[in-house]
Amino acid sequence: MHNFPSTPYDLVVFGATSFVGRILCRHLWMRQMEGLDFRWAVVGRSLQRLEELQEELGLGTEALPVHVVDAQDEEAMAAMVRSTRVVVSTVGPYALYGSSLVALCAREGRDYLDLSGEVPWIARMLSFEPLAKQSGARIVHCCGFDSIPSDLGVQYLQQQCQDLWQEYCARVRLMVARIEGGFSGGTVASMLNVAREAWEQPELRRLLANPYALCPDPVGPRQPHSALVERDTYTGQWIAPFVMSAINTRVVLRSHALQGKCWSESFLYDEVMLTGDDWAGMVKATAIRAALLSFFSASALAPTRRLLERFVVPKPGEGPSAQEQEDGGYVLWFRGHTKSGRSLWVSVEGDRDPGYGSTGKMLGEAALCMAFDRPHAELAGGFWTPSTAMGSLLRQRLQEHAGMQFKVMEAPAR
Ligand SMILES: NC(=O)c1ccc[n+]([C@@H]2O[C@H](COP(=O)([O-])OP(=O)(O)OC[C@H]3O[C@@H](n4cnc5c(N)ncnc54)[C@H](OP(=O)(O)O)[C@@H]3O)[C@@H](O)[C@H]2O)c1
């Protein structure tokens, strides 16, 4: 059934029938309806589900070819990789299903993008970097809500700061000012898998605790880490941990390292959620911290993990409704300080729920950006981050086609 054509596609979507894959495919289809010309195909393990997707989009096989490939079938996977310039994968948990695909892309010199936020797995995949450098494959993990807004937001702040004052910020904090959206079964399955692996392997716990886990040289200054409920000094608001900071901070620090630590050898970065400046804000911050702690403790142990999977969290394939995606959105503030005492604020906003409605569009634009805006003569093979691979080219696409805005802002009133 995997009769891939001899003329390569511009891109293939592997896992097209996943919860987020269907949103991604709708976005790509809408871009074609707007007149963008590209050749793509959808790939998954179930022909029936792929045909349902074709039907949902109102497209025939001519306009949108489908191919059946299982992640366990190495031969079919290799055929898929050779059939395209860019592979986009939403088949997760990536630690369970994604390794051979990354290895194949690195070996065959094909570009690869995904939505992984699984730090231990990404760290393992870095062992294929020499292959990717040799073949010219550009591998870019984390092309969704984690970690495009963080990674491109910090890059935008630093560029503005450089343009204004010819200096960079040595200290940056991301603050989540608004976030509305839910989780899908696929995301929860990936988080549970990381927690299980970390419980079983002490060296993984050490890796997860290292902010430089994804950097070529995994050492650096001690990064900020707030253990107790506290207020942000500049906004006066109570702050809670931001669940995605565990991956986002690692990606931002890798971006900094890949640019020769140009922002400062002592660059510091953290991410928090703002919960308000009154007593209700304090209660909310405390509740978020307690909920996160309970979730990660429960997911580490097999019996409580099974209870969570059975009764509490969404199942694979499930996620926020179309209305919830439509009503969702997010506002992120970034505050940077230079060594000379200047400070600058920027915001990144998105118009759909972060993890799905917005992520599907981000991943689609990132794939198009790699396929059409980044010739191999300009970007060599290797394991890049979204900002170091695509930077302002992607930012422009996100503003024009993905409902995102990057702006310099006034410091919020206290
Ligand atoms: N970074 C971010 O911001 C972000 C946001 C959202 C999701 N994610 C990540 O993206 C991934 C997908 O999330 P989701 O909610 O869309 O998950 P999902 O709905 O559970 O989808 C998982 C996909 O994997 C496919 N699959 C499973 N085993 C396979 C195999 N052996 N061969 C081929 N395909 C296989 C499934 O195929 P079927 O369709 O046939 O079941 C399905 O398409 C997860 O890892 C999640 O953590 C990240």
- For residue 261, the model assigns a pLDDT of 97
- Give the number of other CB atoms < 10 A from CB of residue 226: 13
Q: How far apart are CA 299 and CA 286, in angstroms?
A: 20
**In angstroms, what is the span from residue 374 Cα to ligand 1's centroid?**
27
Ligand 1 atom nearest to CA at 189: 47
129 and 278 share one domain: no
Q: Is position 185 within any domain?
A: yes
Please determine, for residue 165, whether its predicted confidence score (pLDDT) is greater than 60: yes
Mean pLDDT, the chain, integer: 93
Please determine, for residue 3, whether its predicted confidence score (pLDDT) is greater than 90: no
Query: What backbone phi and psi angles, to 5 degrees, belong to 234?
Result: -90, -35
154 and 267 share one domain: yes
- For residue 195, the model assigns a pLDDT of 82
**In angstroms, what is the span from residue 409 Cα to ligand 1's centroid?**
36
Which range of residues forms the domain containing residue 261? 148-354+399-409
Q: Is position 4 within any domain?
A: no
Nearest residue (by CA) to ligand 1, atom 26, is 91
Q: Is position 168 within any domain?
A: yes
**In angstroms, what is the span from residue 22 Cα to ligand 1's centroid?**
10
Nearest residue (by CA) to ligand 1, atom 7, is 187
**In angstroms, what is the span from residue 366 Cα to ligand 1's centroid?**
18
**In angstroms, what is the span from residue 308 Cα to ligand 1's centroid?**
19
**Where are the strands (E) in 118-190, listed by range?**
138-140, 169-180
- Select from 170, 178, 156 the least CA-distant residue to 345: 156
Ligand 1, residues 68, 152, 187: which to mutate, most atoms within 8 A of Cβ?
187
343 and 377 share one domain: no
Q: How far apart are CA 153 and CA 245, in angstroms?
A: 14
Residue 404 pLDDT class (50, 70, 90 cuts): very high
Ligand 1, residues 42, 184, 247: which to mutate, most atoms within 8 A of Cβ?
184
Q: What percentage of residues in the chain have a pLDDT greater than 70?
A: 97
- Give the number of other CB atoms < 10 A from CB of residue 30: 14
Is residue 298 within 8 A of residue 201, CB to CB? The reply is no
Please determine, for residue 322, whether its predicted confidence score (pLDDT) is greater than 90: no
**In angstroms, what is the span from residue 259 Cα to ligand 1's centroid?**
31
Please determine, for residue 34, whether its predicted confidence score (pLDDT) is greater than 70: yes
Ligand 1 atom nearest to CA at 92: 45
**In angstroms, what is the span from residue 297 Cα to ligand 1's centroid?**
24
Is residue 116 within 8 A of residue 142, CB to CB? The reply is yes
State the CATH number of the domain containing residue 374: 3.40.50.720
Over residues 362-384, the pLDDT tens digits come to 999 999 999 999 999 999 999 99
Ligand 1, residues 27, 90, 330: which to mutate, most atoms within 8 A of Cβ?
90
Tokens of 349: 């906003």
Residue 250 pLDDT class (50, 70, 90 cuts): very high
- Helix%, strand%, coil% for the chain, nearest 5: 45, 20, 35
73 and 127 share one domain: yes
Q: Return contacts of 374-380, CB within 8 angstroms, 24+ apart.
A: 374/138, 376/136, 376/138, 379/138, 380/133, 380/136, 380/138
Over residues 172-202, the pLDDT tens digits come to 999 999 999 877 777 778 888 888 888 888 8
- Select from 319, 296, 302 the least CA-distant residue to 246: 296
- For residue 135, the model assigns a pLDDT of 98
Count of the separate structural domains present in the chain: 2
Pocket around ligand 1 at a 6 A CB cut-off: 15, 17-21, 44-46, 49, 70-72, 90-94, 97, 115, 117, 144-146, 184-187, 190, 316-317, 319, 355, 359
- Select from 80, 79, 72 the least CA-distant residue to 99: 72
185 and 328 share one domain: yes
- For residue 311, the model assigns a pLDDT of 62
Residue 346 pLDDT class (50, 70, 90 cuts): very high
What distance lies between CA 209 and its chain's CA centroid?
Answer: 19
- For residue 313, the model assigns a pLDDT of 65
Please determine, for residue 312, whether its predicted confidence score (pLDDT) is greater than 70: no
Nearest residue (by CA) to ligand 1, atom 31, is 71
185 and 321 share one domain: yes
Ligand 1, residues 12, 68, 115, 299: which to mutate, most atoms within 8 A of Cβ?
115
158 and 103 share one domain: no
Q: Average pLDDT of 111-127?
A: 97
Burial tier of 206 (Cβ tally within 10 Å: 0-12, 13-18, 19+): exposed
Q: How far apart are CA 260 and CA 273, in angstroms?
A: 29
Q: Is position 63 within any domain?
A: yes
291 and 378 share one domain: no
Torsion angle defined by CA atoms of residues 270, 275, 277 and 278, in that order, rounded to the nearest 10 degrees: -150
Torsion angle defined by CA atoms of residues 347, 352, 356 and 361, in that order, rounded to the nearest 10 degrees: -80
- For residue 323, the model assigns a pLDDT of 87
Over residues 45-62, the pLDDT tens digits come to 999 999 999 999 988 777
- For residue 227, the model assigns a pLDDT of 64
**In angstroms, what is the span from residue 18 Cα to ligand 1's centroid?**
5
Q: Is position 3 within any domain?
A: no
- For residue 295, the model assigns a pLDDT of 79
Q: Average pLDDT of 400-413?
A: 96
379 and 321 share one domain: no
Q: Is position 77 within any domain?
A: yes
Ligand 1, residues 20, 22, 104, 332: which to mutate, most atoms within 8 A of Cβ?
20
> At 226, which helix (H) or strand (E)?
none
- For residue 187, the model assigns a pLDDT of 76
Residue 6 pLDDT class (50, 70, 90 cuts): confident
**In angstroms, what is the span from residue 326 Cα to ligand 1's centroid?**
21
Residue 1 pLDDT class (50, 70, 90 cuts): low
**Where are the strands (E) in 105-168, listed by range?**
111-114, 138-140
**In angstroms, what is the span from residue 277 Cα to ligand 1's centroid?**
38
135 and 164 share one domain: no
237 and 369 share one domain: no
Tokens of 100: 């051979």
- Give the number of other CB atoms < 10 A from CB of residue 183: 17
Tokens of 379: 């970007």
> At 334, which helix (H) or strand (E)?
strand 329-338
**In angstroms, what is the span from residue 324 Cα to ligand 1's centroid?**
19
Over residues 270-289, the pLDDT tens digits come to 999 999 999 999 999 999 88
74 and 160 share one domain: no
Ligand 1 atom nearest to CA at 187: 47
Tokens of 9: 């596609």
